[in-house]
Amino acid sequence: MKNLVTLLYMISALVVSVFSYNCYSCSSRNSTTCNDTETECLGDRCMTAYQYVNLYEKKVNSIYNGCANESLCGAKGSGMVEHVKFKFFAHCCTGNLCNNQTYEPPEDDLTPNGLKCPYSFCIGTLKECKSDKEINCTGSMNQCLEYRATLRNPDGTIANYSAKGCTNSDACQYNFDSKIAFQEIHRALLKCW
């Protein structure tokens, strides 16, 4: 019996070692680099996620390294509302400590795609941000967006935002889960059409 227990323990240790890998792990809210530590992950995939936000011409670039969130692998979200452009993407890789490379986001496609959306941006309210402005959407931004939420900004301050503009299906499908620099505290509305 003791030999059977020892054998089962050895097999389970082998299974764990075969199906777990280490990934670099860190997060930086206002930089494209961070100090990595190693973390053990179930499975063999690691992830690097980047977020780029241009708010009133102030650029905030952020990074997350860690175990792969399979639902985000390959996601490329982008959007444009008045005074704000954002994009994020998540790159997943297979293998031990494979997420040690720098990735650049895809270039912006500025070709108009025929879609026009309402265009507004308000700070300090969760009510509808009304405007008569429209924007010509470009590239893969194939949906209109209305978003209202309370967010923690990269500098730690908290503010309410209400905005309308263009986005792509990834940004709506993933419900902005890959936000790094801007942390959603309370969502009042996310609507894409």
Can you give the pLDDT at residue 10?
43
CA 125, distance to chain mean position in Å, is: 24
| Res 110 pLDDT > 80 | yes
- pLDDT tens-digit series, residues 133-166: 999 999 999 999 999 999 888 788 999 999 999 9
| Geometric angle at alpha carbon 122, from 121 and 128, rounded to 5° | 90
CA 78, distance to chain mean position in Å, is: 10
Number of H helices, E strands in the chain: 2, 12
53: amino acid identity, one letter:
V
**Beta carbons of 89 and 106 less than 8 angstroms apart:** yes
pLDDT band for 119, please (50, 70, 90 cuts). very high
Using CA atoms, how far apart are residues 166 and 136, in angstroms rounded to an integer? 8
Which architecture, in CATH terms, is 20-192?
A: Ribbon (2.10)
Of the two residues 103 and 135, the one the predictor is more confident about is 135
| Res 104 pLDDT > 70 | no
Can you give the pLDDT at residue 97?
92
Q: Of 3-7, 119-123, 145-149, which range is least confident? A: 3-7
Can you give the pLDDT at residue 15?
43
Phi and psi at 23, nearest 5°, equal -125, 150
Please name the residue that has the structure tokens 């240790």.
13
Of the two residues 154 and 191, the one the predictor is more confident about is 191
111: amino acid identity, one letter:
T
- pLDDT tens-digit series, residues 10-50: 444 444 445 578 999 988 777 777 777 999 998 889 999 88
| Res 9 pLDDT > 50 | no
Judge if pTM exceeds 0.85: no
Can you give the pLDDT at residue 14?
40
- pLDDT tens-digit series, residues 86-97: 888 889 999 999
| Res 167 pLDDT > 90 | yes
Using CA atoms, how far apart are residues 26 and 47, in angstroms rounded to an integer? 11
Using CA atoms, how far apart are residues 122 and 99, in angstroms rounded to an integer? 37
Q: If 0-12 CB within 10 Å is exposed, 13-18 middle and 19+ buried, where does residue 89 land?
A: buried
For the stretch 54-86, what's the b/e string if a residue is b when 16 or more beta carbons lie within 10 angstroms of its beta carbon? ebeeeebbbbbbbbbbeebeebbbbbbbbbebb
Going from N- to C-terminal start, the domains of the chain cover 20-192
| Percent of all residues in the chain with a pLDDT value above 90, rounded to a whole number | 45
Residues 6+ apart with CB under 8 A from 166: 79, 80, 81, 115, 117, 135, 137, 138, 141, 143, 144, 145
- pLDDT tens-digit series, residues 54-86: 888 788 888 889 999 888 898 888 899 988 888
**Beta carbons of 147 and 179 less than 8 angstroms apart:** no
